[in-house]
């Protein structure tokens, strides 16, 4: 793989605090799920499946399913209409429908060193993976404490939503290394320009 492609691990982000929010983050700053290889890397990186789980059976319909769940979950996370709108109601119905599928079944097996490791009982179907993500979204949206901890990144033009678990709930950025660093560099440049 070429460096800088969306399937490089450093390009895929898993720092929002929830797998369903990590899925939403795959739209920023560009589409991160642009190919089956990228989707496979994201599924493994998100922890939905243990490392080394073969996902060769994934087909283009998987991209459609993940993108649909991503869009519906984003609509629910980013809006809290009172009373609910038809678009919100439809998104909620779709996420609940995705959540009906049982997540992939894990099992414990001895690893190379004899310690128990997690593996799946078989190749995970797309519906099972989407079900696990949708269940995470349902748990997030119905947990008042987690819902109250949702924050929009304060970074310039960053749409990422994350769970703020910091002490004092003062986290400002989705990532201190990315958006936080950009903000610090911009602040430094403004001070340097004023000092001239």
The pLDDT, as a whole number, for residue 188 is 62
- pTM value is 0.85
Q: Of the candidates 73, 74, 44, which has an alpha carbon nearest to the alpha carbon of residue 58?
A: 44
- What distances in angstroms separate CA 188 from CA 158, 171, 174, 195, one per listed residue? 20, 20, 20, 11
Q: Contact at 8 Å (CB) between 9 and 32? A: no
Determine the Cα–Cα distance for residues 163 and 75; give it in Å rounded to an integer.
16
The pLDDT, as a whole number, for residue 157 is 83
Average pLDDT of each block of 10 consecutive residues along the chain (196 residues)? 43 92 94 95 96 95 98 92 86 98 95 95 97 98 93 86 87 77 70 77
Q: Contact at 8 Å (CB) between 8 and 40? A: no
Dihedral angle at the C-alpha atoms of 9, 12, 15, 16, nearest 10 degrees?
A: -160
The pLDDT, as a whole number, for residue 194 is 78
Q: Of the candidates 130, 123, 111, which has an alpha carbon nearest to the alpha carbon of residue 61?
A: 130
Determine the Cα–Cα distance for residues 174 and 159; give it in Å rounded to an integer.
9
């Amino acid at each position: 793989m070429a460096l800088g492609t969306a399937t490089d691990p450093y390009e895929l982000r898993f720092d929002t605090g929830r797998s369903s929010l990590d899925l939403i983050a795959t739209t920023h700053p560009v589409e991160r799920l642009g190919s089956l290889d990228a989707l496979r890397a994201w599924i493994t990186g998100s922890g939905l499946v243990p490392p080394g789980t073969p996902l060769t059976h994934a087909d283009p319909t998987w991209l459609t399913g993940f993108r649909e769940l991503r869009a519906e979950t984003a609509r629910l996370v980013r809006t809290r209409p009172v009373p609910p709108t038809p678009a919100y109601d439809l998104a909620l119905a779709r996420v609940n429908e995705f959540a009906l599928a049982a997540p992939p079944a894990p099992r414990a097996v001895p690893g190379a060193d004899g310690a128990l490791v997690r593996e799946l009982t078989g190749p995970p179907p797309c519906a099972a993976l989407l079900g696990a993500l949708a269940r995470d979204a349902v748990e997030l949206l119905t947990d008042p404490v987690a819902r109250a901890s949702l924050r929009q990144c304060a970074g310039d033009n960053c749409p990422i939503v994350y769970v703020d678990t910091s002490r004092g709930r003062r986290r400002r950025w989705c990532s201190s290394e990315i958006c936080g660093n950009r903000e610090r560099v911009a602040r430094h440049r403004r001070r340097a320009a004023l000092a001239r």
